[in-house]
Amino acid sequence: MGIDPNFRTARQVVEEHEGHKVYGPVEAPKTLGIHGTIVGVDFDICNADGSCITACPVNVFQWFDTPGHPVSEKKADPINEQACIFCMACVNVCPVAAIDVKPP
């Protein structure tokens, strides 16, 4: 199914993590929400494939451990989303469509 492209308006910001917003709901470890606003990553469907980390030319992502999550125990966290150049490489390579990129 992929990330909801309307998450920025359809979901509420419930916390901040590593300098970016987290859109809920969040009920760790099973439900982790969507991390980031410019580069949103749905932590609940991210399967830690790593292709976005490899594809990104400006190092937007970093691994974040999520022990106990049913899909994968690490996620590609958009900790450097401000560096995004909107090339869409991460969106194009994500096998589960967990990433949505939108300029501010």
Q: Is residue 47 part of a domain?
A: yes
Query: Is residue 14 situated within a structural domain?
Result: yes
Q: Is 1 inside a domain boundary?
A: no
CATH number of the domain within which 47 lies: 3.30.70.20
* 100 belongs to an annotated ligand binding site: no
pLDDT-derived band at 92 (thresholds 50, 70, 90) equals: very high
Q: What SS3 string covers 13-77?
A: EEEEECCEEEECCCECCCECCEECCCEEEECCCCCCCCHHHHHCCCCCCEEEECCCCCCCCEEEE
- Domain-embedded: residue 90: yes
In this predicted structure, the answer to whether residue 51 has a pLDDT above a threshold of 90 is: yes
Q: What pTM does this model have?
A: 0.97
Residue type at 34?
A: I
The answer on whether 56 is annotated among ligand-binding residues is yes
- 57: pLDDT strictly greater than 90: yes
Would you say 52 is a known binding-site residue?
yes
Residue 69 marked in a binding site: no
90 is in an annotated binding site: yes
Q: Is residue 85 part of a domain?
A: yes
- Tally of domains within the chain: 1
- Residues in the chain, total: 104
| 91 membership: H or E segment, kind and range | helix 89-93
Q: Containing domain of residue 85, as a range? A: 7-101
CA–CA distance, 2 with 77 (Å, rounded to integer): 16
